[in-house]
Amino acid sequence: MAVAVCHGQLPFAVLLSLLMLLGTPVGSEAGCSVDAIYSFGDSIADTGNLLREGPVGFFASIGSYPYGQTLRKPTGRCSDGLLIIDYFAMALNLSLVSPYLDKGADFASGVNFAVAGATALDRGVLLQSGVMMPPASVPLSSQIDWFKSHLNATCPSQEDCAKKLAGALFLVGEIGGNDYNYAFFQGIRSIQAMKAYVPQVVKTIMDVAKEVIKLGATQIIIPGNFPIGCSPSYLSLFSMSGSADHDERGCLKSYNAFAAYHNEQLQVAVDGLRKANTDVTVVYADYYGAFMHLLDHASILGFDEGLLLQACCGAGGAYNFNMNTMCGTLGTSSCANPARRVSWDGIHLTQQAYRAIALALLMEGFAQPADAVQEIWSC
């Protein structure tokens, strides 16, 4: 059941989450059902791993200004500021989750294994299909290996690890977007051809979810993909004059239909995982629906309705995106107020957009089942 703010008094757990997400100080003495977060994924969740590996390609500039503009310093996040995972941590009264490759970090609040540019499928699988991969790409299989290495270094025994992980929240994704992005951006696969890869991508995500369950995970969130047809990058690359492919929001219907296809397959697999593991809380996070909710309520949420599909940071053009002149490189500039924009650099979102999506997931019923969401955020 979605909880609406206008429907009377909110449960304390939900109110606490909302206050935290809105930036209102609350007492840290409240105990939550989650005491750590372990995250796997790509640039939607990376809080600094790629920066420490050495960013290249699309991500070469994430370690320098204007990335981190709202935080007044670059952190390795592909945004002007915070990400969805950061708002999840805040809502759970946890410290922001440090990247695994920050060896001097305090991992008391969990570990983030997500890496910008990461794919679900291994490099070899994608290379065989002709998809070129960035040198620093870290697939899910490598991230789960990092996780096991972390456990080996911090748990005296398997029983101790299982006890430790029982109180943790696992974010398995968002992942899979780059498996498709690389093929689409390189122009080597059609939408129809890429549909053949969806079962492999979904299976890989499920395999990781099953693996962490085997290791002791009891609370898992598996997000779907965003509507890529609303991304300035896709709009810039694939919009055709006179085409009937744009919907009423200005997004590309064909690419959004592909993202929806991936999400439908993923939801079926998530339902199967839930039925096979009745003692584990498995939540599907509808990033697609939450993003569309943001667009449809943009003015209420404080976004500039005339610039919803235009990047804040870029080199000009209809969508302020140029694949050859990415945000942070010579010839680009960023908007004065990223909080009024949805897209940060044409591929990733602004802090304010991630905040709105996090709120939608917690408060507006875009994470299901709702009772499981309430249970996770019970403080």
Tell whether the torsion through CA atoms of 39, 44, 48 and 51 is positive or negative: positive
Which one of the listed residues 43, 109, 233, 343 is annotated catalytic?
A: 43
345 is catalytic: yes
d(CA 114, CA 48): 9
Check if 297 is active-site: no
Which pair of structure tokens corresponds to residue 15?
């109110």
Q: Is the dihedral of CA 309, 63, 112, 374 positive or negative?
A: negative
Mark whether 43 is an active-site residue.
yes
Please report where in the chains the tokens 């875009």 appear, as a residue.
366
Q: Give CA separation, 73 vs 36, 42, 313, 338, in Å.
A: 25, 21, 16, 14
Sign of CA dihedral 335, 340, 343, 349: positive
Q: Is 238 in contact with 255 (CB distance < 8 Å)?
A: yes
User: What values do phi and psi take at 282, rounded to 5?
Assistant: -120, 120
Residue 181 class from Cβ within 10 Å (0-12 exposed, 13-18 middle, 19+ buried)? buried
How far apart, in whole angstroms, are the C-alpha atoms of residue 147 and residue 125? Answer: 22
What 3-state class would DSSP assign to 42?
A: coil
Q: List the catalytic residues.
A: 43, 345, 348
